[in-house]
Protein backbone atom coordinates (compact mmCIF):
# COMPACT_ATOMS: atom_id res chain seq x y z
CA UNK A 1 0.00 0.00 0.00
CA UNK A 2 1.36 3.44 -0.94
CA UNK A 3 1.68 6.20 1.63
CA UNK A 4 -1.22 8.11 0.09
CA UNK A 5 -3.39 4.99 0.17
CA UNK A 6 -2.47 4.57 3.83
CA UNK A 7 -3.56 8.15 4.56
CA UNK A 8 -6.77 7.76 2.56
CA UNK A 9 -7.69 4.81 4.77
CA UNK A 10 -7.58 7.04 7.88
CA UNK A 11 -11.08 8.58 8.32
CA UNK A 12 -9.75 11.90 9.61
CA UNK A 13 -7.80 12.38 6.35
CA UNK A 14 -10.67 11.36 4.09
CA UNK A 15 -11.67 14.96 3.26
CA UNK A 16 -8.22 15.81 1.91
CA UNK A 17 -7.76 16.16 -1.84
CA UNK A 18 -5.11 14.16 -3.73
CA UNK A 19 -3.04 17.34 -4.11
CA UNK A 20 -3.11 17.90 -0.36
CA UNK A 21 -2.18 14.30 0.33
CA UNK A 22 0.74 14.63 -2.10
CA UNK A 23 1.93 17.79 -0.30
CA UNK A 24 1.64 15.92 2.96
CA UNK A 25 3.57 12.98 1.53
CA UNK A 26 6.40 15.35 0.63
CA UNK A 27 6.40 16.87 4.13
CA UNK A 28 6.31 13.65 6.14
CA UNK A 29 9.11 11.21 6.82
CA UNK A 30 8.52 7.45 6.77
CA UNK A 31 10.58 5.37 9.20
CA UNK A 32 10.80 1.77 10.34
CA UNK A 33 11.17 1.12 14.06
CA UNK A 34 12.36 -2.15 15.65
CA UNK A 35 10.51 -3.97 18.41
CA UNK A 36 10.76 -2.10 21.71
CA UNK A 37 11.77 1.24 20.20
CA UNK A 38 10.35 4.21 22.11
CA UNK A 39 8.74 6.35 19.40
CA UNK A 40 7.56 8.88 21.98
CA UNK A 41 9.16 9.03 25.42
CA UNK A 42 7.96 10.71 28.59
CA UNK A 43 11.58 11.74 29.11
CA UNK A 44 11.84 13.92 26.01
CA UNK A 45 9.86 16.76 24.49
CA UNK A 46 7.94 15.56 21.46
CA UNK A 47 7.34 17.84 18.49
CA UNK A 48 6.31 15.21 15.96
CA UNK A 49 2.94 13.98 14.87
CA UNK A 50 2.89 10.32 13.76
CA UNK A 51 0.59 8.28 11.55
CA UNK A 52 1.00 4.60 12.27
CA UNK A 53 1.24 2.74 8.94
CA UNK A 54 2.09 -0.84 9.94
CA UNK A 55 2.45 -2.72 13.22
CA UNK A 56 1.35 -2.00 16.75
CA UNK A 57 2.32 0.59 19.36
CA UNK A 58 1.89 0.19 23.10
CA UNK A 59 0.95 3.29 25.12
CA UNK A 60 2.43 3.30 28.62
CA UNK A 61 2.96 5.62 31.56
CA UNK A 62 5.79 5.23 34.05
CA UNK A 63 7.24 8.58 35.13
CA UNK A 64 6.56 9.80 38.68
CA UNK A 65 4.42 6.84 39.65
CA UNK A 66 4.79 4.65 42.71
CA UNK A 67 3.30 1.78 40.81
CA UNK A 68 5.80 1.45 37.99
CA UNK A 69 4.95 0.89 34.35
CA UNK A 70 1.25 1.15 33.51
CA UNK A 71 0.00 -0.19 30.18
CA UNK A 72 -2.75 2.10 28.95
CA UNK A 73 -3.69 0.90 25.47
CA UNK A 74 -2.43 -0.45 22.17
CA UNK A 75 -2.81 1.31 18.84
CA UNK A 76 -2.73 -0.15 15.34
CA UNK A 77 -2.39 1.03 11.71
CA UNK A 78 -4.21 4.29 10.95
CA UNK A 79 -3.80 5.56 14.52
CA UNK A 80 -2.53 9.09 15.09
CA UNK A 81 -0.06 9.68 17.89
CA UNK A 82 1.70 12.78 19.19
CA UNK A 83 -1.02 15.19 18.02
CA UNK A 84 -0.47 17.38 21.07
CA UNK A 85 3.15 17.82 19.97
CA UNK A 86 1.99 20.00 17.07
CA UNK A 87 0.32 22.41 19.47
CA UNK A 88 2.42 22.62 22.60
CA UNK A 89 6.00 21.50 22.80
CA UNK A 90 5.91 19.81 26.15
CA UNK A 91 7.13 16.58 27.59
CA UNK A 92 4.49 13.92 26.83
CA UNK A 93 2.49 12.34 29.64
CA UNK A 94 2.75 8.90 28.02
CA UNK A 95 5.31 6.87 26.11
CA UNK A 96 4.64 5.02 22.84
CA UNK A 97 6.72 1.90 22.26
CA UNK A 98 6.86 -0.34 19.18
CA UNK A 99 5.32 -3.71 19.91
CA UNK A 100 7.03 -5.70 17.14
CA UNK A 101 8.26 -4.03 13.95
CA UNK A 102 6.51 -0.74 13.21
CA UNK A 103 6.35 1.55 10.18
CA UNK A 104 5.19 5.10 10.82
CA UNK A 105 5.21 8.47 9.06
CA UNK A 106 5.90 11.59 11.03
CA UNK A 107 5.43 15.30 10.48
CA UNK A 108 7.77 17.52 12.52
CA UNK A 109 6.16 20.63 13.98
CA UNK A 110 8.69 22.76 12.04
CA UNK A 111 7.33 21.31 8.78
CA UNK A 112 3.79 21.92 10.02
CA UNK A 113 4.63 25.56 10.74
CA UNK A 114 6.24 25.89 7.31
CA UNK A 115 3.12 24.48 5.67
CA UNK A 116 1.17 27.12 7.54
CA UNK A 117 3.10 29.85 5.77
CA UNK A 118 2.71 28.54 2.24
CA UNK A 119 -0.56 26.68 2.14
CA UNK A 120 -3.67 27.74 4.00
CA UNK A 121 -6.09 24.87 3.54
CA UNK A 122 -3.85 21.93 4.48
CA UNK A 123 -2.71 23.27 7.86
CA UNK A 124 -6.32 24.29 8.52
CA UNK A 125 -7.38 20.77 7.80
CA UNK A 126 -4.69 19.47 10.11
CA UNK A 127 -5.73 21.90 12.79
CA UNK A 128 -9.29 20.62 12.44
CA UNK A 129 -8.07 17.03 12.83
CA UNK A 130 -6.19 18.04 15.98
CA UNK A 131 -9.27 19.90 17.27
CA UNK A 132 -11.58 16.92 16.72
CA UNK A 133 -9.19 14.50 18.40
CA UNK A 134 -8.71 16.92 21.30
CA UNK A 135 -12.45 17.37 21.72
CA UNK A 136 -12.89 13.59 21.80
CA UNK A 137 -10.07 13.17 24.36
CA UNK A 138 -11.50 15.98 26.48
CA UNK A 139 -15.05 14.59 26.44
CA UNK A 140 -13.69 11.14 27.36
CA UNK A 141 -11.79 12.43 30.39
CA UNK A 142 -14.72 14.54 31.60
CA UNK A 143 -17.14 11.68 30.96
CA UNK A 144 -15.13 9.17 32.95
CA UNK A 145 -14.59 11.55 35.86
CA UNK A 146 -18.25 12.53 35.78
CA UNK A 147 -19.27 8.88 35.96
CA UNK A 148 -16.96 8.29 38.91
CA UNK A 149 -18.10 11.39 40.78
CA UNK A 150 -21.80 10.87 40.24
CA UNK A 151 -21.75 7.09 40.76
CA UNK A 152 -24.79 5.66 42.51
CA UNK A 153 -24.30 5.50 46.26
CA UNK A 154 -26.66 2.60 46.68
CA UNK B 1 -25.84 45.13 20.88
CA UNK B 2 -23.00 46.28 18.70
CA UNK B 3 -19.70 45.79 20.45
CA UNK B 4 -17.00 48.16 19.35
CA UNK B 5 -13.56 46.76 18.43
CA UNK B 6 -11.89 48.68 21.27
CA UNK B 7 -14.27 47.21 23.88
CA UNK B 8 -13.79 43.71 22.46
CA UNK B 9 -10.00 44.09 22.59
CA UNK B 10 -10.24 45.20 26.20
CA UNK B 11 -12.58 42.40 27.31
CA UNK B 12 -11.29 39.52 25.21
CA UNK B 13 -7.61 40.23 24.50
CA UNK B 14 -6.70 36.54 24.00
CA UNK B 15 -8.99 36.38 20.95
CA UNK B 16 -8.53 39.97 19.75
CA UNK B 17 -4.76 39.65 19.53
CA UNK B 18 -5.19 37.31 16.55
CA UNK B 19 -7.45 39.71 14.62
CA UNK B 20 -6.47 42.42 12.18
CA UNK B 21 -8.89 45.38 11.80
CA UNK B 22 -10.90 43.80 8.94
CA UNK B 23 -10.94 40.38 10.60
CA UNK B 24 -12.11 41.83 13.90
CA UNK B 25 -14.94 43.75 12.19
CA UNK B 26 -16.11 40.58 10.45
CA UNK B 27 -15.81 38.56 13.66
CA UNK B 28 -17.85 41.11 15.60
CA UNK B 29 -20.49 41.10 12.86
CA UNK B 30 -20.64 37.29 13.06
CA UNK B 31 -21.03 37.09 16.84
CA UNK B 32 -24.58 36.61 18.08
CA UNK B 33 -25.70 38.53 21.15
CA UNK B 34 -27.59 36.46 23.70
CA UNK B 35 -29.36 37.93 26.72
CA UNK B 36 -30.02 35.43 29.49
CA UNK B 37 -32.06 35.98 32.59
CA UNK B 38 -31.01 34.89 36.05
CA UNK B 39 -31.53 31.11 36.54
CA UNK B 40 -31.67 30.51 32.78
CA UNK B 41 -29.36 27.80 31.38
CA UNK B 42 -27.02 28.57 28.49
CA UNK B 43 -25.63 25.04 28.03
CA UNK B 44 -26.93 21.81 29.49
CA UNK B 45 -24.72 18.90 30.52
CA UNK B 46 -24.90 16.19 27.83
CA UNK B 47 -26.97 18.22 25.37
CA UNK B 48 -25.80 19.21 21.91
CA UNK B 49 -24.02 22.54 21.63
CA UNK B 50 -22.01 24.03 18.75
CA UNK B 51 -20.92 27.39 20.13
CA UNK B 52 -18.25 29.19 22.09
CA UNK B 53 -19.61 31.79 24.52
CA UNK B 54 -18.03 35.05 25.64
CA UNK B 55 -19.34 36.76 28.77
CA UNK B 56 -19.91 40.49 28.15
CA UNK B 57 -21.91 41.22 31.31
CA UNK B 58 -23.25 39.32 34.29
CA UNK B 59 -22.36 36.22 36.25
CA UNK B 60 -22.89 32.53 35.60
CA UNK B 61 -22.10 29.25 37.29
CA UNK B 62 -20.73 26.08 35.72
CA UNK B 63 -21.76 22.70 37.11
CA UNK B 64 -22.37 19.06 36.30
CA UNK B 65 -25.47 17.32 37.49
CA UNK B 66 -27.18 13.99 37.89
CA UNK B 67 -30.68 13.17 39.15
CA UNK B 68 -29.32 13.17 42.69
CA UNK B 69 -26.56 15.70 42.98
CA UNK B 70 -24.84 18.73 41.53
CA UNK B 71 -21.13 19.35 41.44
CA UNK B 72 -20.31 23.01 41.16
CA UNK B 73 -17.24 23.65 39.02
CA UNK B 74 -16.82 27.40 39.23
CA UNK B 75 -18.18 30.79 38.30
CA UNK B 76 -17.90 32.84 35.13
CA UNK B 77 -17.87 36.61 34.83
CA UNK B 78 -17.32 39.44 32.36
CA UNK B 79 -14.36 38.68 30.07
CA UNK B 80 -14.50 34.89 30.55
CA UNK B 81 -15.13 32.43 27.74
CA UNK B 82 -16.62 28.94 27.99
CA UNK B 83 -17.76 25.95 25.92
CA UNK B 84 -14.46 25.86 23.99
CA UNK B 85 -14.80 22.14 23.21
CA UNK B 86 -18.10 22.70 21.39
CA UNK B 87 -16.71 25.13 18.84
CA UNK B 88 -13.87 22.71 18.12
CA UNK B 89 -16.24 19.82 17.51
CA UNK B 90 -19.99 20.34 18.08
CA UNK B 91 -21.40 17.67 20.37
CA UNK B 92 -22.61 17.09 23.92
CA UNK B 93 -21.77 19.82 26.42
CA UNK B 94 -19.58 18.71 29.30
CA UNK B 95 -21.26 21.00 31.83
CA UNK B 96 -24.38 23.02 32.55
CA UNK B 97 -23.86 26.78 32.64
CA UNK B 98 -26.60 28.80 34.35
CA UNK B 99 -26.84 32.57 34.77
CA UNK B 100 -26.84 33.64 38.41
CA UNK B 101 -27.82 37.17 37.38
CA UNK B 102 -29.11 38.70 34.15
CA UNK B 103 -26.23 38.37 31.71
CA UNK B 104 -25.22 39.25 28.19
CA UNK B 105 -23.16 36.84 26.10
CA UNK B 106 -21.69 36.69 22.63
CA UNK B 107 -21.97 33.34 20.86
CA UNK B 108 -19.76 32.11 18.05
CA UNK B 109 -21.02 28.94 16.40
CA UNK B 110 -18.82 26.33 14.73
CA UNK B 111 -20.35 26.99 11.30
CA UNK B 112 -20.08 30.77 11.63
CA UNK B 113 -16.44 30.37 12.62
CA UNK B 114 -15.83 28.08 9.61
CA UNK B 115 -17.44 30.68 7.33
CA UNK B 116 -14.73 33.15 8.39
CA UNK B 117 -11.96 30.75 7.31
CA UNK B 118 -12.02 31.74 3.66
CA UNK B 119 -11.79 35.54 4.07
CA UNK B 120 -9.56 35.35 7.17
CA UNK B 121 -7.53 32.11 7.12
CA UNK B 122 -4.71 33.39 9.35
CA UNK B 123 -7.04 34.86 11.97
CA UNK B 124 -9.26 31.75 12.21
CA UNK B 125 -6.23 29.45 12.13
CA UNK B 126 -4.61 31.30 15.01
CA UNK B 127 -7.82 31.43 17.07
CA UNK B 128 -8.36 27.71 16.48
CA UNK B 129 -4.77 27.08 17.52
CA UNK B 130 -5.22 29.20 20.65
CA UNK B 131 -8.34 27.26 21.67
CA UNK B 132 -6.60 23.94 20.93
CA UNK B 133 -3.69 25.09 23.07
CA UNK B 134 -6.06 25.84 26.00
CA UNK B 135 -7.57 22.36 25.63
CA UNK B 136 -4.16 20.66 25.41
CA UNK B 137 -3.06 22.41 28.62
CA UNK B 138 -6.23 21.33 30.43
CA UNK B 139 -5.97 17.72 29.21
CA UNK B 140 -2.29 17.58 30.17
CA UNK B 141 -2.99 18.95 33.62
CA UNK B 142 -5.84 16.49 34.11
CA UNK B 143 -3.71 13.57 32.90
CA UNK B 144 -0.92 14.63 35.25
CA UNK B 145 -3.28 14.79 38.22
CA UNK B 146 -4.92 11.52 37.27
CA UNK B 147 -1.60 9.71 37.04
CA UNK B 148 -0.06 11.34 40.09
CA UNK B 149 -2.95 10.19 42.27
CA UNK B 150 -3.24 6.76 40.75
CA UNK B 151 -1.58 5.17 43.77
CA UNK B 152 -4.35 6.60 45.95
CA UNK B 153 -7.04 4.96 43.82
CA UNK B 154 -5.20 1.66 44.07
CA UNK B 155 -5.60 1.76 47.82
CA UNK B 156 -9.37 1.66 47.47
CA UNK B 157 -10.60 -1.90 47.63
CA UNK B 158 -14.34 -1.49 47.23
CA UNK B 159 -16.12 -0.18 44.16
CA UNK B 160 -18.01 2.69 45.76
CA UNK B 161 -15.75 5.58 44.89
CA UNK B 162 -18.24 8.17 46.16
CA UNK B 163 -17.74 6.93 49.73
CA UNK B 164 -14.16 8.19 49.70
CA UNK B 165 -14.19 11.88 50.49
CA UNK B 166 -10.60 12.49 49.38
CA UNK B 167 -11.29 10.87 46.06
CA UNK B 168 -14.37 13.01 45.50
CA UNK B 169 -12.43 16.20 46.25
CA UNK B 170 -9.66 15.09 43.95
CA UNK B 171 -12.13 14.32 41.14
CA UNK B 172 -13.86 17.67 41.61
CA UNK B 173 -10.53 19.48 41.47
CA UNK B 174 -9.68 17.81 38.14
CA UNK B 175 -13.12 18.56 36.69
CA UNK B 176 -12.77 22.21 37.70
CA UNK B 177 -9.40 22.46 35.99
CA UNK B 178 -10.71 20.69 32.89
CA UNK B 179 -13.38 23.38 32.63
CA UNK B 180 -10.88 26.20 33.03
CA UNK B 181 -11.51 27.02 36.68
CA UNK B 182 -8.48 27.57 38.85
CA UNK B 183 -9.11 25.03 41.57
CA UNK B 184 -11.25 24.03 44.46
CA UNK B 185 -14.06 26.50 45.01
CA UNK B 186 -16.77 26.55 47.56
Q: What is the DSSP string of B109-122?
A: EHHHHHHTTTT-HH
Kindly report the pTM of this predicted structure: 0.81
Question: Could you give the C-alpha distances from A15 to A3, A27, A77, A104, B3, in angstroms and in order?
Answer: 16, 18, 19, 21, 36
Domain edges within chain B: 5-178
Residue B185 pLDDT exceeds 50: no
Which of A90, A115, A150 to mutate: most B Cβ within 10 Å? Answer: A150
Taking only the tens place, the pLDDT of each residue in A31-70 is 999 999 999 998 888 888 898 999 999 988 876 665 667 7
pLDDT tens sequence for chain A (154 residues): 788 888 887 777 777 888 888 888 888 999 999 999 999 998 888 888 898 999 999 988 876 665 667 777 899 988 888 877 777 667 787 889 999 999 999 988 888 778 777 666 777 777 788 888 888 888 888 887 887 777 644 4
Best residue of B139, B154, B161 to probe chain A, by most A CBs closer than 10 Å: B139
HSE (side-chain half, CA atoms, 13 Å) at A126: 30
Per residue in B41-96, pLDDT (tens digit) is 999 999 999 999 999 999 999 998 877 788 889 999 999 999 999 999 999 999 99
- The interface predicted TM-score (ipTM) is 0.80
Structural domains for chain A: 3-149 (2.60.120.10)
CA distance A70 to chain B (A): 10
Interchain CB contact of B76 with A (< 8 Å) = no
Among B92, B88, B95, smallest CA distance to B72 is for B95
Task: State in words which class domain B5-178 has.
Answer: mainly beta
Amino acid sequence: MSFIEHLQSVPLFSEMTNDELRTLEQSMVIEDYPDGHKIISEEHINDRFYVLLEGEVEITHEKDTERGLQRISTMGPGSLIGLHGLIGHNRPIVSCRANGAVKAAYLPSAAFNLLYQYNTRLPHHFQTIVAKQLAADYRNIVGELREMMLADND
Amino acid sequence: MDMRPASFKEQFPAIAEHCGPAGLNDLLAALQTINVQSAQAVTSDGEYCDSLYLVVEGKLVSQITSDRETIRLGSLKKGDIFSEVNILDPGPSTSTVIATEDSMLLALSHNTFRSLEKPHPVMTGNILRMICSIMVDRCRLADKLLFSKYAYIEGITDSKSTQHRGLIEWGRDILQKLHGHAGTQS
